[in-house]
Structure 1
Amino acid sequence: MGIPDIAEALMSIFNMYTSIFLLSLASNSIPFVSIPYLGVVAGYSIIYRDLPSRVSIILLSALGASLGKVLIYFIGRAFRVKLGDVSKSNVELFKKVARKSLFFAVLVFAATPLPDDVIYIPIGIMKYPLTHYFTAVLIGKTVLTSIVALYASWMAYIAEVNLLVIPALVAVTFLLSYLVVRINWASVINAFYDKGLRGSIKVFTAEVSRVLTPAARKPKTAP
């Protein structure tokens, strides 16, 4: 069953807003497995372009996704019960050292295509404050769904105005998707922690250049 089939099944039972909320919730509740709910968000954003509908779609999707990540958090909390005393001491030490940067890390992972469950489960293990965790995830998911919804609406509007723009928009979309997948986001985030915003921008620019520049051909060696 594909995403359109899931969305249609939900719509046959619930209204649009409830369907978006439930699909976002379910997609973010399964560790390391995600239903591409953002495609449904983009589709509805193209159909319903008035401001109240668009805001409702963004907020309900972000809320559902954030609540789904709360379940991931509690999965981490459940693992903590099985830790020995030494392991728990190490977790507490790490929490003290990383407390200042965890909120930002949670927000960044929620707002980007990074595999967020990789850090959300350990955050649950260290019993990071749930209110801080949920706030960071909600902000990040709101940013992510806003970008998806606004970009989808903008593409639909441009396509209506000038059909010749569609190929260019498709090309830009594929290029952005390619960059998102190929960029080493871990390096960018590490640079932010080590060198600040300017350093992370420099690393990000270098990553974009690396991804877009074809690898130099190695000279052939004589047999």
Structure 2
Amino acid sequence: MTNTDVYQALGVFLVVFITHAIPFLPIPGYVATVYYATSHRDPVSMALAIIATALGASLGKLFVFLYGYGIGKIIAGDELAYAKKLFERISKLGIDIAVFIFAISPLADDVLYIPLGAAGYNLTRFFISLLAGKTVLATVIVLWAELMTDLFGEDVWAAIITMAVTIALTVLVLRIKWSAVLKAYEEGGARQAAVAIVKSILRRA
């Protein structure tokens, strides 16, 4: 591995960090990860890509978490109050799991992180769950990029597929109506809340 390879990995970190630090940016910097992984296919470079991506994403989302109540009000409006009430009714372990699950998925996880920051959730617990999830996601992305390169033989195809899937999933997640989720949770628990999330995502505009 050369100094150029290390600098390129640092570039991946910066791109991922910047794109994750901007709330609701529809195209995360995973495209940079895909490009690096498909052009540096040795085990050391793959590990470096995973580390750079996981740290960049985690530190970027930490900034989102710290934006706090002011930014949350601007983005989420009245729905922020319902989200905070929902989180207050869930155990700390449940929140940790939720952070981990959102971190694993390439979704607009700001809908969870901003209310948590506004509610003053424990920073250490949040970051540990976040970093664990982003590490899993980064590993999947790097391995998936390798697979796409083997199948298509061109880096551009892996990047295009990643962008398309990310944009589509982000649009769906931004449709979550937290007031309906909170009501469902109060009436039927986590299962009904999950159903409400799906219904709010699939609802007509």
The reply to whether TM is greater than 0.5 is: yes
In structure 1, distance between residues paired with 2:133 and 2:170: 21
In structure 2, distance between residues paired with 1:158 and 1:79: 43
The residue type paired with residue 23 of structure 2 is: P
Cα-to-partner distance string for 1:56-79 (whole Å, 9 max, x where unaligned): 111111101100111111112556
Which residue in the other structure is 1:149 paired with? 142
In structure 2, distance between residues paired with 1:48 and 1:91: 42
> How many corresponding residue pairs?
170
Which residue in the other structure is 1:104 paired with? 97
Whether contact under 8 Å (1:106, 1:136) holds in the other structure is yes
User: Out of 24, 37, 53, which is 1:61 matched to?
Assistant: 53
1:128 maps to 2:125: no
TM-score (norm 1): 0.60
User: Out of 109, 113, 117, which is 2:110 matched to?
Assistant: 117
The residue type paired with residue 149 of structure 2 is: A
Cα-to-partner distance string for 1:119-160 (whole Å, 9 max, x where unaligned): 111000111111111111111111222111101112223456
Between 1:122-131 and 1:71-80, the stretch displaced more is 71-80
The residue type paired with residue 17 of structure 2 is: L
Whether contact under 8 Å (2:21, 2:64) holds in the other structure is yes
User: Out of 12, 17, 23, which is 1:31 matched to?
Assistant: 23
Q: Which has the higher contact order (CA 8 A, sep 6+)?
A: 2
In structure 2, distance between residues paired with 1:61 and 1:182: 19
* Alpha-carbon distance change, 46 to 79 in structure 1, aligned in 2, over 3 angstroms: closer
Which residue in the other structure is 2:77 paired with? none
**Deviation, structure 1 residue 31:** 1.2
Cα-to-partner distance string for 1:100-124 (whole Å, 9 max, x where unaligned): 3111111111111221111111000
* Alpha-carbon distance change, 192 to 51 in structure 1, aligned in 2, over 3 angstroms: farther
The residue type paired with residue 47 of structure 1 is: S
Which residue in the other structure is 1:194 paired with? 191
Moved over 4 A (4+): 77-80, 90-96, 182-186, 189-192
In structure 2, distance between residues paired with 1:151 and 1:28: 20
* Alpha-carbon distance change, 52 to 109 in structure 1, aligned in 2, over 3 angstroms: same
* Alpha-carbon distance change, 181 to 68 in structure 1, aligned in 2, over 3 angstroms: closer
Which residue in the other structure is 1:181 paired with? 169
User: Out of 65, 69, 83, which is 1:73 matched to?
Assistant: 65
Secondary structure class of the residue paired with 1:15: helix
Secondary structure class of the residue paired with 2:21: coil
Which residue in the other structure is 2:75 paired with? none
User: Out of 106, 131, 136, which is 1:138 matched to?
Assistant: 131
* Alpha-carbon distance change, 18 to 130 in structure 1, aligned in 2, over 3 angstroms: same
Identity of aligned residues (%): 28
Whether contact under 8 Å (2:34, 2:141) holds in the other structure is yes
What value does the CA root-mean-square deviation take over the aligned residues? 4.1
Larger radius of gyration: 1
* Alpha-carbon distance change, 155 to 35 in structure 1, aligned in 2, over 3 angstroms: closer
The residue type paired with residue 60 of structure 2 is: G
TM-score (norm 2): 0.65
